[in-house]
Amino acid sequence: MEKSYTPGLHILSTFKAAEQHLTDAKSCRQFFNDTIAQYQLAKVGEAYHSFENGGFTAIVCLTESHLSIHTWPEYGIATFDVFLSNFNNDNSNKVRAIYHDTLRYFNATETNKQEMLR
């Protein structure tokens, strides 16, 4: 008999935010670190890169999976995604909470959102 497994919820989004929020990689790093601690996740690696235009990209690898952001301050937009595995328990509520916390942190307006059950 084959076992069934649903890997988890993956949210992908584009949002609008003010330029000052989309250029502050240092504060975003602190926000991500605080969020990871708040939701009792385990960070296993990270990469942050700032661009000449002030935008930045970041990906944080978690034992549970990842979260990432890419910003374009000159257009006032960012893309964000978060995926957490359901290996030990259903993390769907954490994924949704992290997503909403991120919108609040960036004082953002959602322009596109997709929820994918993997």
Is 1 inside a domain boundary? no
The CATH number linked to 47 is: 3.60.90.10
DSSP state of 15: E
Distance CA 80, CA 74 (A): 17
Distance CA 108, CA 78 (A): 9
Extended beta strands in the chain, E state? 8-16, 43-50, 56-62, 65-72, 77-85, 109-117
Number of domains in the chain: 1
DSSP state of 23: S
pLDDT of residue 26 exceeding 90? yes
Domain of 21, in residue numbers: 8-117
Query: Could you tell me the pTM of the whole model?
Result: 0.94
pLDDT of residue 61 exceeding 80? yes
pLDDT of residue 1 exceeding 80? no
pLDDT of residue 104: 98
